[in-house]
Structure 1
Amino acid sequence: MLARRLVQPLFQPIVQLSSRAVVGMEALARGPAGTDVEFPDRLFAAARAAGRLGELDLLCSERALECALAAVQPPPLLFVNAEPGVLDQPLSPRLIELVSGGLPFREVLEFTERALPAVPGSMLRIAGLAQQWGTGLALDDVGVDPMSLAFLPILEPEVIKLDMSLLRSPDSAHTRAVCAVVRPEAQRTGAVVIAEGIETEDDLITARRLGADWGQGWLFGRPGPIDHGGRRYDAAAARMLRKPRPGFHEPAGTPFEVAAGHAPVAAADATSIAAAMARLRDTVAAHDTAVVVMSCPDARLPVDAMSLQELAGRARSVIVLDRPIADEFAALVIGPGYGYALCARSSNVLELLTLDELPAVAAVARVLLNRHS
């Protein structure tokens, strides 16, 4: 199947909820029709079992772009999924040829929330490359796992896709909590919110109540060939997304240098660093969704080892850099709608910075995660 490139994607429309105009298509992978691997669950399971998951994922992306390019009328936006387990693999020559040659539509690369804790460094590197090519970013399945909300301000995607489970339980405490994070983040960054799984008119009303701008689901069309039904697209759709920001996901400088752009630098000692660590531990203790990211160099900085162990023991997830920054200690906690960071540097004097504004904490997180394998 791989050798003969037998992946044949289907496409599902994405519409603007207020007008129902089709703004783009999402490519959905399919294996050869009538075989055991026709549908994506079995297709990707078979590739994983055979050790060929990376090749399949690249082929699915290639075929999605090839089919869209061959369409009688290409969509303004093409949404393509990325498999999180293989984000650290090199891109294929064919895929690079397609995306770097200039597309007549804007591609939107979808990261599922599983990519965030699994391969955050690779995710940011792929995001940075995508933005250089003009490709947009979408965070998929938002609401299934609280960790997706923790990483939302780090990725700052152009599109936030609400999982269909939120649409099925719009008045649950969980749905309200998710929307309470997504709405202000979308307003702050200009992201477009998409609701998935819209099957009825009532679903459409609910989706708009949850804050969705666009939607997809059987109400607007089932997956099919890209030219099915002679669809008419809203030609202005691509301009509705935020423009690419090359360099945003791979910022220059160290964590301390980036933090210094958001807060004043203060002289430090063991007491002030211990107080900042206590604030960090208290933030983690107050939430069961906390993600901690740390860079711990070999340099002699007055950071208590027991404090680090206690911090790590309380967090939902801990990421420790395998390439720490010399003469700098950095630790941050980030979660749905909150964040706190401290950065200490030892040069001629000991200096300390603390941050409690979420966008600033996310900026430091991007620097740290880019140094993580």
Structure 2
Amino acid sequence: MQNIHDVLDARAVTPLFQPLVEIASGRVLGYEALSRGPAGSPWESPAALFAAARQAGRADELDWICRAQAYRAILAAGLDPALTWFVNMEPTSWRAGCPADLVPVVEQARDELRVVTEMTERVLADDPSGLLAAAAACREANWGVALDDVGADPMSLALMPFVHPDVVKLDMGLLHHPGDPHTARVAAAVAAHAEASGAVILAEGIETEEHLAIARTMGATVGQGWYFGRPAPLPAGTRAGACLPFIPPPARDDRTPFQIVSGRRPVTVATKAHLIPLSRHLEALVDDGPEPPVLLACFQEARHFTPATLRRFARIAGRSPLVAALGAGLSDRPAPGVRGACLGDDDVLRGEWNVVVVGPHRAAALVARDLGDDCADGERRFEFALTHDRALVLEAARTLLTWLAPARVPALIS
């Protein structure tokens, strides 16, 4: 083949599969699909293949090709339907339609295979509502969601509860640094999330007995790596030793943060001047600790997002995985590193002042509703509630993310 366009036009991608093994029993639960370009070509490695496709402007198409070729190989093998198949998805392809020639095999896979779509935490900061919509589309097809490379970036821990993954994949680098304080913090945060949600912890990169022992101490119940098998064509006759469980997705809630929290916590009345110290205290939590949390805030109107607030939020965004400000008149980027959303005149959030902080080890939300006083700004009264209940804070945070952006994400095919 002469160039990357020839490779893509010919759909010349070969899937290999690496086993996913239940650590306690050694039983195979499924496989991860890993793509390769034409053997002996400059595009044989997946990194080179995707780099060339991006340069050619066809990375989204390549992503669909990789998934479709994996599905085609799995379906042709006629293996145990209880096996679970892990398939990676590139972030931008969530908004790109499936090429017409690949639609039949993707539709068949949706109907017949048990798939877990692997996502990375960096996408949530780039396109929060898009990621949540993509995860919802997978779950509507009764597929699972995995969060990949957790621990490679400290920010991934704060974003984990928003994805609400069925499987948390620990970054392989953690196995090589078991004594590092960062490794211990990641393991503790992931274990707490798994205990609360029911998610499965999977350790990648297991190559030795020592790695296996470390993975166990981190709470992993599923392993992947050369210790169990290298990427290879599908073996014939493989049966699932057990079925990897999926967890119930978070319920969709179209209410505002104030409506959610005030329905379950006492409401008090206070002036804006009295609430500002509480608001600043929650913002300050972002600077407290090695794993920075997510900060989401509603300002009612752009005039309340003052120059001093802009500077403060830009500084916070320098170390937080996601900082967002919503209000009438705010742009998509109201400050460097800050995601924004402009609220319409009749948007229900126009009447709310919310500050929501979600990290791997703490969560807090101040939610307030303007009582509509005609007086000096500092004397305006708000009904408010404050909560540190993690589950309740997450409900408030998830609903805010649905305001942050965009256009619909297609289902698994479009």
**TM-score scaled to structure 2, two decimals?**
0.81
Q: Among residues 354, 360, 367, which one is paired with 2:392 in the alignment?
A: 360
Q: Distance in 2 between matches of 1:97 and 1:271?
A: 60
- DSSP 3-state at the match of 1:326: helix
Q: How does 1:268-287 map to 2 (within 5 A)?
A: 268-287=270-289
Between 260-269 and 181-190, report the one with greater CA deviation: 260-269
- State the shift of 1:32 in Å: 1.8
Question: Structure 1 stretches of 5 or more lacking a match?
Answer: none
Q: Calculate percent identity across the aligned residue pairs.
A: 39
Q: Distance in 2 between matches of 1:312 and 1:175?
A: 28
Q: Distance in 2 between matches of 1:262 and 1:354?
A: 11
Q: 1:10 touches 1:27 (CA, 8 Å); kept in 2?
A: yes
- State the shift of 1:264 in Å: 2.8
- State the shift of 1:55 in Å: 1.2
Q: Among residues 294, 299, 316, which one is paired with 1:314 in the alignment?
A: 316
Q: Distance in 2 between matches of 1:131 and 1:206?
A: 31
Q: Distance in 2 between matches of 1:108 and 1:11?
A: 14
The one-letter code sitting in structure 2 at the alignment partner of 1:284 is V
Q: Distance in 1 between matches of 2:40 and 2:30?
A: 28
Q: How does 1:188-203 map to 2 (within 5 A)?
A: 188-203=196-211
Confirm whether residue 25 of structure 1 aligns to residue 31 of structure 2: yes
Q: Which residue of 1 aligns with 2:350?
A: 326
The one-letter code sitting in structure 1 at the alignment partner of 2:368 is A
- DSSP 3-state at the match of 2:158: helix
Confirm whether residue 67 of structure 1 aligns to residue 73 of structure 2: yes
Q: Which residue of 2 aligns with 1:257?
A: 259
Q: Which residue of 2 aligns with 1:218?
A: 226
Q: Which residue of 1 aligns with 2:140?
A: 132
Between 130-139 and 362-371, report the one with greater CA deviation: 362-371
Q: Distance in 2 between matches of 1:97 and 1:351?
A: 54
Q: 2:293 touches 2:359 (CA, 8 Å); kept in 1?
A: yes
Between 146-155 and 1-10, report the one with greater CA deviation: 1-10
Q: 2:84 touches 2:114 (CA, 8 Å); kept in 1?
A: yes
Q: 1:74 touches 1:105 (CA, 8 Å); kept in 2?
A: no
Q: 2:120 touches 2:147 (CA, 8 Å); kept in 1?
A: yes
The one-letter code sitting in structure 1 at the alignment partner of 2:400 is L
Confirm whether residue 171 of structure 1 aligns to residue 179 of structure 2: yes
The one-letter code sitting in structure 2 at the alignment partner of 1:343 is V
Q: Which has the larger radius of gyration?
A: 2
The one-letter code sitting in structure 2 at the alignment partner of 1:105 is L
- State the shift of 1:222 in Å: 0.6
Q: Distance in 2 between matches of 1:291 and 1:342?
A: 14
Q: 1:116 touches 1:147 (CA, 8 Å); kept in 2?
A: no
Note closer, same or farther for the CA distance 1:101–1:162 as it changes in structure 2 (3 Å cut). Answer: closer
- DSSP 3-state at the match of 2:383: strand
Q: Distance in 2 between matches of 1:275 and 1:165?
A: 41
Q: Which residue of 2 aligns with 1:12?
A: 18
Q: Distance in 2 between matches of 1:11 and 1:262?
A: 47
Confirm whether residue 81 of structure 1 aligns to residue 100 of structure 2: no
**Deviations, residues 270-312 of structure 1 (Å, cap 9, x unaligned):** 13321221221331232352332233332887x7663464244
- State the shift of 1:114 in Å: 2.2
- State the shift of 1:146 in Å: 1.2
Between 96-105 and 142-151, report the one with greater CA deviation: 96-105
Q: 1:14 touches 1:216 (CA, 8 Å); kept in 2?
A: yes
Q: 1:80 touches 1:108 (CA, 8 Å); kept in 2?
A: yes
Note closer, same or farther for the CA distance 1:327–1:204 as it changes in structure 2 (3 Å cut). Answer: same
The count of aligned residue pairs is 366
Q: Which residue of 1 aligns with 2:404?
A: 372
Q: Which residue of 2 aligns with 1:340?
A: 364
Q: Distance in 2 between matches of 1:56 and 1:209?
A: 38
The one-letter code sitting in structure 2 at the alignment partner of 1:361 is V
The one-letter code sitting in structure 2 at the alignment partner of 1:327 is G
**Deviations, residues 10-48 of structure 1 (Å, cap 9, x unaligned):** 111000000110001101121222211111100111111
Q: Distance in 2 between matches of 1:172 and 1:23?
A: 30
Q: Distance in 2 between matches of 1:276 and 1:270?
A: 10
- DSSP 3-state at the match of 1:297: strand
**Deviations, residues 205-242 of structure 1 (Å, cap 9, x unaligned):** 2211111000000111111112x2543322x314x332
**Deviations, residues 172-231 of structure 1 (Å, cap 9, x unaligned):** 1111011111111101100100000111122112211111000000111111112x2543
Q: 1:343 touches 1:352 (CA, 8 Å); kept in 2?
A: yes
Note closer, same or farther for the CA distance 1:220–1:229 as it changes in structure 2 (3 Å cut). Answer: farther
Q: After the TM superposition, which segments of 4 or more aligned residues of structure 1 sit over 4 Å from their partners?
A: 90-97, 99-102
Q: Among residues 144, 149, 162, which one is paired with 1:154 in the alignment?
A: 162
Q: Distance in 2 between matches of 1:89 and 1:255?
A: 31
The one-letter code sitting in structure 2 at the alignment partner of 1:295 is C
Between 292-301 and 131-140, report the one with greater CA deviation: 292-301
The one-letter code sitting in structure 2 at the alignment partner of 1:334 is V
Q: Distance in 1 between matches of 2:300 and 2:57?
A: 36
**TM-score scaled to structure 1, two decimals?**
0.89
